A and B are shown apart, each in its own frame.
Chain A
Amino acid sequence: MSTGRTISIGGASTSRRDAWTFGVSIAVHVVVLGWGALTFAARPLTSIAEPMPVDIVTVSEFTQLTSGSRTAEAATPIVDKLGERNPATDPAAKVAKTEVHAATDATVPEPKPPTPEKKQSEPQRDLIAEAIKKDLAKPEPKKAEQKSEPKKAEPKAEKKVEAKSEPKTPPKKEQPKFDPRKVEALLDKRTPQRVAATGDVVNSAVGLGAPEGTANQLSQSEIGAFLRHLKTCWSPPPGAISKRFTVPVTIRLKMDRTLAAPPEVEMRATDPYSRAIVESTVRALIQCQPYTMFSLPRYELWKELPLNFDPFDMLGG
């Protein structure tokens, strides 16, 4: 009976608790769902900015863009002007000289009189023994004796120290003294120099970097200028091309940006039409020189240019 009662009481309390948690649950759900409904509600698309053209490059192209030149030569120092031979030939020597002049700055090590303990202790012991004896005899003069004792002991010690450290101790007149008029002596007196800036031969060319370096390619703007320039010269014969084919040509340029040799076509024209296209590319490359868009310091990058002429987009279909 009692058990049943207990159960009934427990059941009542359980149902009350259930109702309470149920209420809380509903409230929380309402809050969460309401917040979600408001927060996650679909918003009208905001206007999208102008589409940005993106060039998708393949991994191999990217590797090409960032890889160094296999043929890169050892970096030569960049030289802006011809340097005189005498200064700065031996920077070490100068540094040594300056050290002598800038002596005021140097902190001369102060001789620290070593305190030979052993030898000092001996007279101390004597003194104490004497003092005890005197103490026993005359307590009064003890103080005076105690004061004078170290004075006596000092000269002894000094003598010994002097004898030992005399040759190492610098003369007193050379002791560092700050003199504002000689501030300049504190400055680095070495002749201003950039070791790489002067040399026997003027060389403004930037090195090609290490063979494994990056960014040794022509810039996109240089290539763009080259393509725009070539567009004005190249008139492929207007036949119809049924399939894509390219004409591989390599040009070698001199430093004056003209062709060092006739363009080298790396294909064999098999029919009159491809022959006409090949000839049109050679004609264009000869006619379009000089290629002034290339800058001289980057000569290594454009002295040899492998090209592909692809007329399909113009004539195809």
Chain B
Amino acid sequence: MRSLELTLSRRRVLAGAAGLSFAAAAAGLWSRVRAAPRITITEGNMQPMPIALPDFVGGALPDPAMARSVTQIITSNLQRSGLFAPIDQAAYIEKITNIDQVRFPDWRQINAQALVTGTLSRQPDGRLGARFRLWDVFAAQYLDGKEYSTPPDNWRRIAHLISDAIYERLTGEKGYFDSRVVFIDESGSKERRVKRLAIMDQDGANVRYLTRGDDLVLTPRFSPSSQEITYMSYSQGQPRVYLLNIENGQREVVGNFPNMTFSPRFAPDGQRVIMSLQQGGNANIFLMDLRSKATTRLTDTAAIDTAPSFSPDGSRICFESDRGGRQQIYVMGANGGPAQRISFSDGAYSTPVWSPRGDYIAFTKQAQGRFAIGIMKPDGSGERILTDGYHNEGPTFSPNGRVVMFFRDPGGSAGPSLFTVDVTGRNEQRVPSPSYASDPAWSPLLR
């Protein structure tokens, strides 16, 4: 019995040892397999992506030039984004006749990384139909394709929508081309400057005037629903915040306050407007519900609190205040309460605006007699000056939060004009406008 037990235990010991050694060997093998050395690539380049955009096929159109125009708008949109480098059409080898068949080597040869083919046609109901295909040239892959139809006079929007689709597929981020900008159009001499509220596509086309220019208008802001604008106007001598419906032209005063109201902005839900109300020498921030007209006071200080802007999730508000002596940026909860200062460096900070992505707050910074446009994270870290000069002011984010538009006044007899710059500080571009322009506000995407 004892010997049996002994044998068993010995066997067990042997089996256990064998098992252990096997496990150790397996673990060693596994670690070797797993530990295959990988080369890590952390550096690339920020060169714009070469993209080929041959003219859309539009043979059956009553106006074949329209197909070319659509292609040109897409090309221009992508080029202005700074992320794409459209290749000159003169270099193209293949002439596209069938948008679903592409000879990749021909496009590889001209170093195009992406290729867009498309057609434009008149549908039986008279609407304009557009189809496009996006190709990855080097991987020889189909990436994306969509179809749109629209009334013929809306053809520019087709080009913007296709631009957005290409941008989104290749960068992984939402586009911003199918959006509009409301701004203050300034015309006439410096002494007799006429300021009108105007709206245009983000590329400067389709300018439309919303006011006649009788009253001074300032700080227009888009509603998240994009059908309404809120702005400040001196219509009866006293600056007041107004609401304007873009579609039907109706306008109304927001709230019924005895004193001046200014720097309005919509809450992310589009149902409330946040603004400043002057009380004596001070200004405080109020929130007003547009339906119930209920007003909530959010700050109560003996200082000037102004330029409030909601975070995209509606949970916080950033604003400018001189409660610390100089204008600085503060952040507080959406219901008021204690505010935390987030800007600390030298200079005065003003016009803070929260990015639609929520990752940055853009601002105007005045220091040493110069005005700069910059961004910082909502906790005040990572401040980055995007542009700097004699007078830059009034930043507004593109719908995807990647581009900041602002106005620049060169001084002298010239007037202001609009510019865009990436949040990286690269790719500064002038936005075409019919005359001088200031105070831009970027709309959300139109769809």
Q: Do A and B bind each other?
A: yes
B292 at the interface (CB under 8 A from A): no
Q: Does A82 contact B (CB under 8 A)?
A: no
Among the 9-residue stretches B9-17, B167-175, B233-241, B362-370, the one with 4 or more Cβ atoms under 8 Å from chain A is B167-175
CB-CB under 8 A for A238 and B83, given A272-B168, A272-B173 = yes
- Cβ-based interface call for B42 (8 A): yes
In angstroms, Cα B407 to Cα A178, docked, is 109
Residues of chain A within 8 A of B46, CB atoms compared: 235, 238, 314
In the complex, are the beta carbons of A246 and B40 less than 8 A apart?
A: yes
Binary B-proximity of A233-244 (CB < 8 A = 1, otherwise 0): 111111110100
A-B contact count (CB 8 A): 118
Please, how many residues of chain A have a CB less than 8 angstroms from a CB on the other chain? 52
A284 within 8 A of B: yes
CB nearest neighbor in B for A218: B39
In the complex, what residue of chain A is closest to B167 when comparing beta carbons?
A: A237
- A36 in the interface (beta carbon within 8 A): no
A273-B173, A274-B172, A308-B39 as given contacts; A231 in contact with B138, CB under 8 Å = no
Report the bound CA distance from A277 to B49 in whole Å.
Answer: 13
Partner of B172, one of A65, A232, A272: A272
Q: Is A286 an interface residue (CB 8 A)?
A: yes
Among the 9-residue stretches A156-164, A192-200, A222-230, the one with 4 or more Cβ atoms under 8 Å from chain B is A222-230
B43 near A227 (CB under 8 angstroms)? yes
Contact A230 B41 (CB under 8 A): yes
Given the interface pairs A283-B136, A287-B138, the reply to whether A237 lies near B41 with Cβ below 8 Å is no
Given contacts A64-B35, A279-B136, A286-B138, are A227 and B172 in contact (CB under 8 A)?
A: no
Interfacial chain B residues near A236, Cβ < 8 Å = 44
Chain B residues, Cβ within 8 Å of A248 = 38
A70 at the B interface (CB under 8 A): yes
- Measuring CB to CB, which residues of chain B are less than 8 angstroms from any residue of chain A? 29, 32-33, 35-49, 83, 113, 136, 138-139, 143, 168-173, 357, 359, 382, 402, 422-424
13 A-B pairs with CB atoms under 8 Å apart are A67-B32, A227-B43, A231-B44, A233-B44, A234-B41, A238-B424, A277-B172, A279-B136, A279-B143, A281-B41, A286-B139, A310-B42, A317-B382
Add 17 more A-B contacts to A276-B172, A281-B41, A307-B40 (CB < 8 A): A223-B39, A226-B39, A231-B44, A234-B44, A235-B49, A237-B83, A240-B357, A272-B172, A283-B139, A286-B138, A307-B39, A309-B41, A310-B40, A310-B41, A311-B44, A312-B42, A313-B42
